[in-house]
Amino acid sequence: MSSPQLSWAQDAFCLEFAPMSDLVITNLTKKFGRLTVLDNVSVTASDGQILTLLGPSGCGKSTTLWSIAGLLRPDGGSIVVGDQTLFNHDSSAFLPPERRDCGVVFQSYAVWPHMKVRDNVGYPLRLRRYKPEALRRRVDEVLELVDLSDQADRFPHQLSGGQQQRVALARALAFPPRLLLLDEPFSNLDAKLRERTRDWLLQLQRKIGVTTVFVTHDQDEALAMSDRIAVMSTGTVRQIGTPEQIYNDPADLFVADFVGTSN
């Protein structure tokens, strides 16, 4: 299967994206019953950066991402994007998910099987009452961006796993997001396709410059994809820094072990 390529000749079309946004998460806490799954998590990402949450299964990465998207309500702390407060426990502020303008790609990419590609991608725009002509234009534009223009009228089951993944990404980008949230987006792809898709996604993110939170348990992926990495274990952030800092100067044994720099 050929890898998707970003055509730089496409620069001519102007993608309208929301103003870039700093993300500031402070002392985020979440409990499920008596289990504390996030314990005062504080991380930041600057305009247009990729922040990666890296850690073993069960450490709270998805819970953090779902809290940013507004799909979970945390028990403490705050989440601010640019000048917009998404959540603040102390002031009881909780912006509903549909007003957060987060584009989310879930671990299992969850494209709707009964809808054609163009309807999957257009769905967030229909929710926002885009007029048919503007909706069609935007869907075409985003499908071109992810190299799926020729698949618009097919159904997901007619596409490869990698292509379905790009449909999910196109849907996340359809309404210009303030934040792109990616939860282990490559986990269903085989190793070779995973690497190619990673490079392609990085190019795409650099092109559109949307602030991105990327979740993975794969240290190589994190080192290759990130401006900053937050290494998590059991609901806490053990270290946050650039890939070089995390790799060359791990804060403790857990980080050294997990990133593979010990011994």
Chain contacts with ligand ADP (rule: CB under 6 A): 32, 37, 55, 57-63
Question: CB-wise, 58 or 260, nearer to ligand ADP?
Answer: 58
Residues facing 54 on adjacent strands: 216, 231
Question: CB-wise, 38 or 170, nearer to ligand ADP?
Answer: 38
Phi, psi of 128 (to 5 degrees): -95, 15
Nearest residue to 226 via CA among 254, 186, 198, 250: 198
Stretch that binds Mg ion, among 56-64, 131-139, 173-181, 189-197 (CB under 5 A): 56-64
Q: How far is the CB of 71 from ligand ADP (least distance, A)?
A: 11
44 near 23, Cβ under 8 Å? yes
Q: Does 62 bind Mg ion (CB under 5 A)?
A: yes
User: In terms of C-beta density within 10 A (0-12 exposed, 13-18 middle, 19 or more buried), how is residue 53 classed?
Assistant: buried
Structure token pair of residue 195: 């690497």
Question: CB-wise, 36 or 84, nearer to ligand ADP?
Answer: 36
Q: Does 233 bind Mg ion (CB under 5 A)?
A: no
Q: How far is the CB of 231 from ligand ADP (least distance, A)?
A: 12
Q: How far is the CB of 215 from Mg ion (least distance, A)?
A: 6
Q: How far is the CB of 32 from ligand ADP (least distance, A)?
A: 3
Q: How far is the CB of 106 from ligand ADP (least distance, A)?
A: 11
| 3-state SS assignment for residue 108 | coil
Phi, psi of 211 (to 5 degrees): -60, 130
Question: CB-wise, 49 or 64, nearer to Mg ion?
Answer: 64
231 near 255, Cβ under 8 Å? yes
Nearest residue to 215 via CA among 232, 199, 240: 232
Q: Which long-range contacts (CB under 8 A, 24 or more apart) does 251-256 make?
A: 255/231
Question: CB-wise, 122 or 185, nearer to Mg ion?
Answer: 185
Q: Tell me the residue number closest to Mg ion, measured at CB.
A: 62
Question: CB-wise, 4 or 70, nearer to Mg ion?
Answer: 70
Which of Mg ion, ligand ADP, none binds 63 (CB below 5-8 Å, type-dependent)?
A: ligand ADP
Q: Report the interface residues with Mg ion, using CB under 5 A.
A: 62
